Structure 1
Amino acid sequence: MNVIMDLCLVPIGVGVSVSKYVVACHQILQDAGLKTELHAYGTNIEGEWDTVMDAVKKCHEQVHSMGAPRITTTIKLGTRNDREQSMEDKVQSVRTQMP
């Protein structure tokens, strides 16, 4: 089953800047072959359910191994079985309706 996810993983106890953790997670997502779109407060991810979930787990493992004692993660995700839909399709659908 294909899933589109919005992932926001926040390491706690590592200081103010978290960019090195974002880079580490982004590399995991890329290595998994997932389609990603980085935004200011997270990453949109598209791919097969098990692959996406496995990559999120690997992100947690990697961020912990980098010294983060705690992580809080917010996940929003959607699936559909009536037709295929990509992240780009969803955005384009809205943009075509904007004045």
Structure 2
Amino acid sequence: MIVAFSLSPSGGAPAGSEPDSVHDAVAAAVRVVRDSGLPNRTSSMFTEIEGEWDEVMAVVKAAAEAVGAYGSRVSLVLKADIRPGHSGELDGKVERLERALRDRS
């Protein structure tokens, strides 16, 4: 499965942090994802991770817990592509899209 998710803290920033910025909290979440060893990528709004259901959801949970240190609440937006028996789709889907764009130019 591929999961695209976004986490954001709310409910009060820790002392000494920038009140309108969540980059430290996002960095904590992305660090958890990267340390997981699962295929992943991060863009300006979402982090994508690929793996089996239980391992991906465990990483999302750990990332949410990391963000929780930056506020009293955590907001999670999650979208999943659940496709049993397939792997390498994090890059494969994009490669097929780029090929379709090239072929029709």
- The verdict on a shared fold, with TM-score over 0.5 as the criterion, is yes
* Amino acid paired to 2:34: Q
In structure 2, the partner of 1:78 is: 81
Decide whether aligned partners of structure 1 residues 24 and 45 sit closer, same or farther in structure 2, where only a CA change above 3 A counts: same
The share of aligned pairs that are identical, in percent, is 30
**Residue correspondences, number:** 96
Q: TM-score when scaled to structure 2?
A: 0.81
In structure 2, the partner of 1:62 is: 66
Structure 2 residue 17 is matched with structure 1 residue 19: no
RMSD: 1.5
Q: Which protein has the bigger strand share?
A: 1
In structure 1, the partner of 2:16 is: none
Cα distance in structure 1, aligned partners of 2:48 and 2:74: 18
Q: TM-score when scaled to structure 1?
A: 0.85
Greater C-alpha radius of gyration: 2
In structure 2, the partner of 1:28 is: 32
